[in-house]
Amino acid sequence: MTEPIRHQEMRASDRDRKKTQEHLHWAHAEGLIDLSEFDTRVRAAWDAKTGGELEKVTRDLPPVRQQQDGFDQSKPRKRVFSDDPGGMAMRVLTIIWLSATVVNLIVWGLIDLGSFELYPWWLWVGLPPGGVLGVLYASGIGRPRSE
């Protein structure tokens, strides 16, 4: 029976190296390491072959903490759409819908507000398709699965 490979011995991916580089960016921004040391450590991170070699690069640094602007770099960003075809379709349709709505809002602003007519006709372009997208999303199409 073979033993499982420990994380320290497992090959490092570019995603792992990028995460280590972001940790080093944070440490440099916090004043924990100077520019020369940052450069040396980033090179070591991109030269690393295993997880253990990557851990050595940041071993003496504290974990990334929440920054003052409220953005926590240690947590991944929550996805709005899934990575499956339904999520891609919802992403594309939402961008098209938002673009059409914004263009119509701008045209309304230029035409109706210039003539002091305040009938919001752009809502007829924005609300019905937006409602359809909302119903599709609420029914689970394109939504990421709970993890």
- Tell me the pLDDT tens digit for each residue of 9-53: 889 999 999 999 999 999 999 899 999 999 999 999 999 999 999
Bridge-partner residues for 50, per DSSP?
11
Q: 142, 146, 147: which is closest to 80 by C-alpha?
A: 142
Q: Residues 89, 58: one domain?
A: no
Residue 71: CB atoms within 10 Å: 9
- Per-residue pLDDT at 80: 85
* 42, 57, 77 - which closes a domain: 77
Q: Residues 70, 52: one domain?
A: yes
With 90 as the cut, is the pLDDT of residue 109 above it? no
Residue 111 lies in a domain: yes
Residue 32 lies in a domain: yes
Q: Residues 65, 1: one domain?
A: yes
**Confidence (pTM):** 0.46
Q: Residues 1, 73: one domain?
A: yes
* Domain range enclosing 4: 1-77
In tens, the pLDDT along 50-105 reads 999 999 999 999 988 755 455 555 566 678 888 888 889 999 999 999 999 999 88
How many independent structural domains does the chain possess?
2
Per-residue tokens: 134:
């909302």
Place of tokens 């409602």: 131
Q: Residues 69, 90: one domain?
A: no
Query: For residue 18, what is the enclosing H or E element?
Result: helix 14-29
Residue 144 lies in a domain: no
Q: 122, 123, 97: which is closest to 110 by C-alpha?
A: 122
- Per-residue pLDDT at 92: 94
